[in-house]
Amino acid sequence: MKKFINDPADVVAQALAGVAAAHPELRVDIDEQYIVRADAPRPGKVGLVSGGGSGHEPLHGGFVGPGMLDAACPGEIFTSPVPDQILAATKAVDGGAGVVHIVKNYTGDVMNFQLAAELATDEGISVETVLVDDDVAVEDSTWTAGRRGTGATLLVEKIAGARAEEGGKLAEVAAIGREVNTHSGSFAYALTAGTTPAAGRPGFDLPADEIEAGVGIHGEPGRRREKLRPARELVHSALDAILDAKQFPGPVIVLVNGLGGTPLIELYLIYGEVAKHLEDRGVRIARRLVGNYVTSLDMAGMSLTLCQATDEMIRLWDAPARTPGLRWGA
Amino acid sequence: MKKFINDPADVVAQALAGVAAAHPELRVDIDEQYIVRADAPRPGKVGLVSGGGSGHEPLHGGFVGPGMLDAACPGEIFTSPVPDQILAATKAVDGGAGVVHIVKNYTGDVMNFQLAAELATDEGISVETVLVDDDVAVEDSTWTAGRRGTGATLLVEKIAGARAEEGGKLAEVAAIGREVNTHSGSFAYALTAGTTPAAGRPGFDLPADEIEAGVGIHGEPGRRREKLRPARELVHSALDAILDAKQFPGPVIVLVNGLGGTPLIELYLIYGEVAKHLEDRGVRIARRLVGNYVTSLDMAGMSLTLCQATDEMIRLWDAPARTPGLRWGA
């Protein structure tokens, strides 16, 4: 295994130390392992907390800042954050208006966020949970009952984050987050597996001419192994799988996401194919984002996410965001 | 070779089609192969044009927009853009105040930009050239007489771009660009080689426990092969090489740059080590940027760049930028 690390056991803590040094606009609690906006808690503002295993950066820590999350709880690599950690982050961002937990649908994450929500409720904090389960590839998976939460997490964090930033109430912020998830679908391809520092070798083996169709962001198996095909055909298959699973009658927000090891030149080539195929399928693109945002360490792969967007979602998507990993607007 | 492409011969043109579809704020000429701001030319504004081989994205096309470049000319992968292409981009951004060419020091780039500058001059456009040669690893290299241009290119494009945006004159914009380059130094490590679509296999072979110290962004050899060491030691060696080559008495801008295949979690871990070692060496960090910005396709690797920054450079670094690959400020 070749990685820029010191010790496989200390990667997350040492990366958090780097985040703390790099971003004075964030406050990082290295012991409790959470990242919050330096100005948290904001009185009267609904707090947004997300988290999950590390290895998906910039998700979630890179999305902490005005217009998106108030806090992120990174677990160890591909490992759920623990309830105490989530509780500490929840308390750190509670400004009296309640806190929304954005949780990707993995069994450990769901359980630990639920425990943390109960503990927070006991301390008088109102918590709503938005569960993200956008991956249409498989119904159940290695660490999931039901569909996995993947690329749509970014959309939920952006859109619900904007709603909270402009003063939305707890139920409103949670409702728009759930609406984004309900109307989103994702599908991913892996060319290679990622390598965790602890394992020291790729999470699965793929022959030199094969790919994993419908892969999960921890390398979970998808629908099938396939022979590598031209990007155009892979894009068609992925989009068709999403369009088969959910209805997209109106304009969509598109995310072309790299899984960590895929160069931007390939992601833009993919976006060109996405734009053409959606036009052929009669789906109008309202907004789009291309880059490595919801990753799986160094996995070479990509995911496509479509979100059927209302005018309200597009307005919130366009609102300013100022985070290390995603930033736009005035 | 596993890549998300259709045909190795068409990667650049098809990626440009994707850029065109994704970014209505840019205008892409697919035939002539250049990218300009949609509002170009801007009357009275000095135009900034950069370019070079493709495969280093987001450099340069991802840095076109208000506050940075007016145009980028991507060549084929790891291949210089041709003079006609550079001339077309230069004419497209000429607003009557002259054009600055930002050129990384590679023999083909230097020659072709020089020819284009002569042709532009013949057509009545004043052109100044800023040559970037920040890589302290080697004196001459595979495609270079003198030092290679690498990570500092981003700093030159950001800072000279801000100076042009605020109304700087041709000589002023070129002067601050040259000043940034003169006071910058970079050093890179590769864990693996990148794979070009045309070659279909890694550009060089590295044993499983070895790295290339001082590698170039096309996989050119560096100073030596070494055994893999902890990130902390690699950071110390790279920073010491830069600090040995140039003087950094005052505050610096730091770029921790991934070469394409390195996850963000490792880059932040590296930044933590950079911050500690620079403190030990008595060098104050004024600003910093962490991410994959000047890449070498899917190479797993990282480069460190230091720029000795004046107050003026820091003011311009902080100025707003709105480009696909780099964006901040109001």
Q: Please answer yes or no on whether A298 and B21 come within 8 Å at the CB atom.
A: no
Residues of chain B in contact with residue A297, where contact means CB-CB under 8 angstroms, are 263, 265
Task: Report chain A's mean pLDDT, rounded to a whole number.
Answer: 96
The percentage of chain B sitting over the pLDDT mark of 70, rounded to a whole number, equals 100
Q: Which of A100-109, A317-326, B11-20, B142-151 has the lowest mean pLDDT?
A: B142-151
pLDDT higher than 70, residue B128: yes
Q: ipTM score of the complex?
A: 0.97
CATH no. for A184-328: 3.30.1180.20
Q: Is A60 an annotated catalytic residue? A: no
**Residue B273: left (phi > 0), alpha (psi -120 to 50), or beta?**
alpha
Number of Cβ pairs closer than 8 Å across A and B?
Answer: 181
Q: Please answer yes or no on whether B5 and A57 come within 8 Å at the CB atom.
A: no
The percentage of chain B sitting over the pLDDT mark of 90, rounded to a whole number, equals 93
Among chain B residues, CA nearest to A269: B15
**Cα(A104)–Cα(A63) distance, integer angstroms:** 15
Q: Which of A4-13, A95-104, A135-144, A225-234 has the lowest mean pLDDT?
A: A135-144
CATH class of A8-182: alpha beta
What is the fold, at CATH topology level, of the domain defined by B9-183?
Answer: Rossmann fold (3.40.50)
Give how far A94 is from chain B: nearest CA, Å: 27
pLDDT of res. A323: 97
Asked whether the beta carbons of A170 and A93 are under 8 A apart, the reply is no
What are the residue ranges spanned by the domains of chain A? 8-182, 184-328
Half-sphere exposure of A79 (CA within 13 A, CB side): 12
**CATH architecture for the domain at B184-321+324-328:** 2-Layer Sandwich (3.30)
Distances from the Cα of A40 to the Cα of A49, A56, A59, A65, B258, angstroms = 12, 24, 19, 10, 31
pLDDT higher than 60, residue A330: no
**Cα(A297)–Cα(A196) distance, integer angstroms:** 7
**Cα(B165)–Cα(B145) distance, integer angstroms:** 32
Q: Please answer yes or no on whether A263 and B298 come within 8 Å at the CB atom.
A: yes
Q: Please answer yes or no on whether A275 and B18 come within 8 Å at the CB atom.
A: yes
pLDDT digits (tens, 9 = 90+) for A237-261: 999 999 999 989 889 999 999 999 9
Looking at the partner chain, which of B54, B266, B267 has a beta carbon nearest the beta carbon of A265? B54
**Cα(B123)–Cα(B127) distance, integer angstroms:** 11
Amino acid identity of B164? A
pLDDT of res. B70: 98
More confident residue, A263 or B328: A263
Residue B41 phi, psi (nearest 5): -80, 150
Cα torsion through B288, B294, B295, B300, rounded to 10:
-30
Distances from the Cα of B303 to the Cα of A48, A216, B130, B155, B235, angstroms = 34, 30, 21, 14, 9
* Equal fold, B9-183 vs B184-321+324-328: no
Residues of chain A in contact with residue B211, where contact means CB-CB under 8 angstroms, are 2
Q: Which residues pair with A244 in a beta bridge?
A: none
